[in-house]
A and B are shown apart, each in its own frame.
Chain A
Amino acid sequence: MMKEGFLEVPEPEEPIPDLSLSSSQGILQWISSVDHKQLGIMYLWLSVLFLVIGGIEILLVRLQLAAPNNHFIAPEMYNQLFTMHGTTMIFFVLTPAIFGFATYLLPLMIGANDLAFPRLNAFSLWATFFGGGLLYFSFIAGGAPDAGWFNYAPLNQYNYSSSLGIDYYCSGLLFAGIGTVTASVNFIVTILKYRVSSMSLKQMPLFVWMILINSFLVLAAFPSLNAALIMLLLDRQLHAHFFSATSGGSAILWQHLFWLFGHPEVYILILPIFGIFSEVFPVYSRKPIFGYAFVIGSGIAIALLAFGVWVHHMFATGLGNTVNSFFAASSLLIGVPTGVKIFNWLATMHGGAVRFRVSMLFAIAFLVEFTIGGLSGVSFAVVPIDWQLTDTYYVVAHLHYVFIGGSLFGLFSGLFYWFPKMSGRMLDERLSRWFFWLMVVGFNLTFLVQHALGAMGMPRRVYTYPDLPGWGILNLISTIGGFLMAVSVALLIYILVKAIRSGEKASSDPWDANTLEWMTSSPPALQNFDRVVPVKSTRPYRDYKRPDDADWNRPNKYGNIDGK
């Protein structure tokens, strides 16, 4: 097998377990593992587990809201459920899923055998895991947090929420946050120091690029959340005065610290997704990505701008017109690099031989849904519109179009793309299409109507509402849509388990892809590579498969898209 010019990667070859979580040495092998593939898989299962939990929570909420003047669950429980739903989805579904993909794929994509610090990698996973455990322990400890996922002061103060829930919120998110930060450090060092020797920065897969940018974003954003959580813990446990306005503290300070983290956080949850799409679109369109350098550049621009817009979450707090105008303008700016990316992907599809596999379907659906979410986002940046619509269901609609239509659809797209690599099995295509359509229809049914509800003035986070014209029926539609999504997630889990048990065997390169991870067996051996092709363009594996048509042979055919 040894070929001229291959770079050798020494180490023994042993099989590692695939997605099935069973292995020759049982559970112990998983708990003690420091292998990036096993840790990546555990991140992904963790995220599936919390997706189910967070989903059940919000189904209960939607049942309560299905009809006006309803009394299905108690108001206190209602507050806990929507708070836990938001917190879970952001910190324990989207974040671990993204970090799972990154942990699994980074070394494979850059021709390395593992992350730079394997034991730190295990620490990051378990810190996230215990963070989630702590957060949920609050249910047993006398009550879950109930002040919303952004936990505003003074609601987060002891005299408004005297159960231990918010203390568990603080400590759980601190744990998870430390895990996120350490994982990001690990990614940066791996990308900068452990690439296969011939791969330059300008030849890295775009997913790797987005993770690199994203990791810096994490390092800059998470500390202000951690500081805010610690201050709040001090307030609640040692009677400090950070956030209580009655004794010298400031409730607005919480909002500043929280959104200084929180706005970048929403980009932390979307930049890696942009990376996933930048892998998926070219492969299923059989074309190189359009404007490789622009995808990177706009990614960096988004990361930088992300720190200049946090106040658009605080327009209604009365900071004054000068402050508001400044942050309105910067918020509008962020639409520009995002738009650049959308056009990159559209242009990649244009004129390509597009293959509509489920992964590509999610990518196309994303283009539609994310554009809707982006437009409603831009409308918030206009201060008077924000004053009208903030804290209504219009915000709920907006954020779900970007979180679900954006982040979650991207994760699904990535899942359907890389599943054969991770498991060695193909997914049932017919059932997967069912899943796709159920999800898309359910999602739009749930959230499209919420734009209208918000415009009609329905506030978010209310336990129940009066029987005003239209409210009942729109809420009922939303609830039905929510249940459709639940059915689709159940179907997804069935499809995954079925494929792992008895799916058709996958080859090492089922999609005729371009990047290094498709060179190894499916699933990869413990040692990722025994050889890596020399990297001379952004599509090294394709170069290897078609030496006559290799990118580096004709640098001008696609302009300088491959950065050479």
Chain B
Amino acid sequence: MGNKLMMKLVVGTEAMFFVSLIMAFVYFSFGPGFKAQLLQHLDTKTTGIFTALLLSSSFTYWRAESNYEQGRMGRLKLWLILTLALGIVFLFGQGSEYLKLLNAHVSISSSSFGTSFFTLTGFHGLHVFAGLVIIGIITCLTFLGDYDQGQSSIIQTIGIYWHFVDIVWAVVFLIVYVAPYFV
């Protein structure tokens, strides 16, 4: 009782946390040289592809949820694994983007662009990572038959978190990668 409510509250307070990081990013983005660096170093197309992959992991997770409700354990496992795969690919994409930036000498200490970019996207990445660990655990438990009774609220509870992580990324992507082309 109350698991889902708890997760909604956690997600609510996490949202406030990201609002602070985003505020800082926007605040700095008006500083001199910030936009030029951003446009020079960020690759919106490539990241756009990885964004699409992450967002589709919300779809796959949603499929996992509804198959679980209908007691179809085989499909549940399949969709969970797909979700994991998409999340891992996204993190891989973020890793390669970071590597590229670091090679171009953009780091957290190089400028206020580096500082706010790495902090904001880094904390999101951390949340994706945590989500993957949790989903990994429940996937293993699914294979061990822990949810065969079909009465646990855990799949949906984790779902609230995972959808949240995706929504946050949609916002971050719009603000960091897309908006600079328009303002």
**A residues apposed to B, CB below 8 Å:** 116-117, 181, 184-186, 188-190, 192-194, 219-220, 222-224, 226-228, 230-231, 234, 238-242, 247-250, 253, 256-257, 260
> Nearest-CB distance from B26 to chain A (Å)?
11
Are A116 and B2 touching (Cβ within 8 A)? yes
B16 — nearest CB in chain A belongs to which residue?
Answer: A223
Sampled A-B contacts (19; CB under 8 Å): A116-B6, A117-B2, A189-B2, A189-B5, A189-B9, A193-B2, A194-B1, A224-B20, A230-B119, A231-B24, A238-B108, A240-B114, A247-B111, A248-B28, A248-B31, A248-B111, A248-B112, A248-B115, A260-B20
Across the two chains, which residue of chain B brings its CB closest to A228? Answer: B20
Closest B residue by C-beta to A260: B20
Q: A224-B17, A239-B109 are in contact. List 20 more A-B contacts (CB 8 A).
A: A117-B2, A117-B6, A185-B9, A189-B6, A192-B5, A193-B2, A193-B5, A220-B13, A222-B13, A223-B13, A226-B17, A231-B119, A234-B108, A238-B108, A240-B114, A247-B111, A248-B115, A249-B115, A253-B24, A257-B24
Residues from chain A with a CB closer than 8 A to the CB of B31 are 248
Return the contact of B13 from the options A116, A219, A228, A249 (Cβ within 8 A). A219
Distance (whole angstroms) from the CB of A516 to the closest CB of chain B: 20
Beta-carbon contacts under 8 Å, B1-21 to A:
1-2, 5-6, 9-10, 12-14, 16-17, 19-21
- Contact partner of B20 (CB less than 8 A), chosen from A185, A192, A257, is A257
How far in angstroms is the closest Cβ of chain B from A381? 24
Q: Specify which chain B residues have a CB less than 8 angstroms from the CB of A248 in the assembled complex.
A: 28, 31, 34, 111-112, 115
- B112 contacts A249, C-beta separation under 8 Å: yes
Taking CB atoms, residues of chain B closer than 8 Å to A223 are 13-14, 16-17, 19-20
Known: A189-B9, A238-B109, A248-B111. A227 touches B21 (CB 8 A): yes
Q: CA separation between A190 and B119, bound complex, in Å? A: 34
Q: Which A residues lie within 8 Å of B13 (CB)? A: 181, 185, 219-220, 222-223
Bound complex: CA of A239 vs CA of B119, how far in Å?
Answer: 12
Choice from A192, A220, A228, A241 contacting B16 with Cβ under 8 Å: A220
What number of residue pairs across chains A and B have CB atoms under 8 A from each other?
95
Is the beta-carbon distance between B6 and A185 smaller than 8 angstroms? yes
| Shortest beta-carbon distance from A99 to chain B in Å | 16
> In the complex, what distance in Å separates the CA atom of A238 from the CA atom of B108?
7
Determine the chain B residues whose CB is within 8 A of the CB of A190 once the complex forms: 2
What B residues does A224 contact at CB under 8 A?
A: 16-17, 19-20
CB of B181 closer than 8 Å to a CB of A? no
Among residues of A, the one whose C-beta sits closest to the C-beta of B12 is A219
B31 to chain A, nearest CB (A): 6
- Docked CA distance A409–B17 (Å): 33
The distance from the CB of A228 to the nearest CB of chain B, in whole angstroms, is 7
Question: Cβ of B27 < 8 Å from any Cβ of A?
Answer: yes
- B27:A253 contact, CB within 8 angstroms: yes
Do A242 and B24 have beta carbons less than 8 Å apart? yes
Q: Which residue of A lies closest to B34 (CB)?
A: A248
Closest chain B residue, CB of each to CB of A239: B109
Complex-state Cα separation, A471 to B181, whole angstroms: 60
**Complex CA–CA separation, A257 to B17 (angstroms):** 11
* Residues of A contacting B21 in the complex (Cβ-Cβ under 8 angstroms): 227
Bound Cα distance from A188 to B9, whole angstroms: 9
Q: Residues of A contacting B123 with CB < 8 Å?
A: 230
Most buried by A among B12, B21, B112, B115: B115
Q: A227-B21, A234-B119, A242-B115 known; A116 and B16 CB under 8 Å?
A: no
B83 to A: closest C-beta gap in Å: 25
Q: Which residue of A lies closest to B123 (CB)?
A: A230
Min C-beta distance of A242 to chain B, whole Å: 6
Contacts of B111 in A (CB 8 A): 241, 247-248
Q: Which residues of B contact A238 (CB under 8 A)?
A: 108-109
With contacts A116-B2, A185-B9 taken as known, whether A239 is within 8 angstroms of B108 at the C-beta atoms is: yes
Once the chains are docked, how many angstroms separate the CA of A39 from the CA of B2? 21
A240 to chain B, nearest CB (A): 4
List the 5 closest pairs (A to B, CB-CB), nearest first: A248-B112, A227-B20, A223-B17, A239-B109, A223-B16
B19 cross-chain contacts in A, Cβ below 8 A: 223-224
